[in-house]
Amino acid sequence: MERWPDSEFARLVSDPNQLMADDQRKGREESDYAEVYKNYREGHYMPVIATCNFVIAETPNNHLLPKYHLLKALAVGGMREREAFRTALLEVTSKYPGSDEAKAAQDILAQLDRSGGTSSGGAPPEVVAAPQYTAGDGPHFVVVLYPNSAGPIAPQKTRISNFNQANFKSKPVSMEATVLDTTYQAIKLGPFPNKADAMGYYNLFMATPDLAGLNDAGYPAFAISTANFALFYKDKGVDAYTAFFSENYLQGQ
């Protein structure tokens, strides 16, 4: 309290119940975001933009602000306002540099540039060579790609959290969901110290009946090294990496 009076630790020392209150607040914020995202998926772009503007202006400490900025940009894009779409994407990249949301915005901007500046039509995107994935050990993630068309992601995150609590209580598994492209959100789990641990998690995840509808629906899911994930997130070649995963991880198990 004396040496670091303005730190997060000092705040928790002065009010031990604050940690629980923070968790409850984050839970409410995730629930609210899931509802806004549902409206976006249903095509209610104007209400989504209005809600995002309100959250951004009135709740500056909301831990999902980067997601709200990106969702606002996507809703603007849904209204086919080309220049406003580009401006909103650039705002995401400038406000949250280095974040997954900024990377997603940069990728969308690149797609717009390749297609002649429009979100649909125009010249076809240029062909990009598949990344050179490398086989190896070391830190890994397990990634599940959840289709935007499958509905809100929040209930699935709750199911995965329950699975983690039941099976990995002594070794907590972090979970992060972010927009991959216009088709998928990526649920990233881990990190795991090596390939074997990641595959142990993957195999149990895919075999657990409590995750039916998520692990048996044909959604892409795989273990991936941290180095390969950086390439995959940039390239977004789902088919290319799942083929690599099948050959280098599944065959011979």
Summarised one tens digit per residue, pLDDT across range 57-66 is 998 889 899 9
Q: What is the pLDDT of residue 83?
A: 83
Summarised one tens digit per residue, pLDDT across range 36-45 is 888 888 788 8
* Domain identity same for 155 and 235: yes
* Domain identity same for 243 and 151: yes
Lateral strand order in the sheet of 221-225:
174-179, 184-192, 140-147, 221-225
Q: What is the pLDDT of residue 231?
A: 87
Predicted TM-score (pTM) above 0.85:
no
**CATH code at position 218:** 3.30.70
d(CA 111, CA 118): 9
- β-partners of residue 222 are 143
Using the CB atoms, write b or e for 14-43: b if 16+ within 10 Å: eeeeeeeeeeeeeeebbebbbebbebbeee
Instruction: Give every residue of the chain whose pLDDT is below 50, as ranges.
Output: 117-130
* Domain identity same for 100 and 172: no
Task: Please count the structural domains in the chain.
Answer: 2
Q: What is the pLDDT of residue 21?
A: 63
Q: What is the pLDDT of residue 20?
A: 60
Among the three residues 114, 132, 149, which one is the final residue of a domain in this structure? 114
- Domain extent, residue 185, equals 140-250
What are the CB-based long-range contacts (under 8 Å, 24+) for 38-46? 38/151, 38/152, 40/71, 40/74, 40/75, 40/78, 41/148, 41/149, 41/151, 41/152, 43/78, 45/75, 45/76, 45/78, 45/79, 46/75, 46/79
Q: What is the pLDDT of residue 146?
A: 94
Q: What is the pLDDT of residue 223?
A: 96
* Domain identity same for 106 and 148: no
Q: What is the pLDDT of residue 137?
A: 87
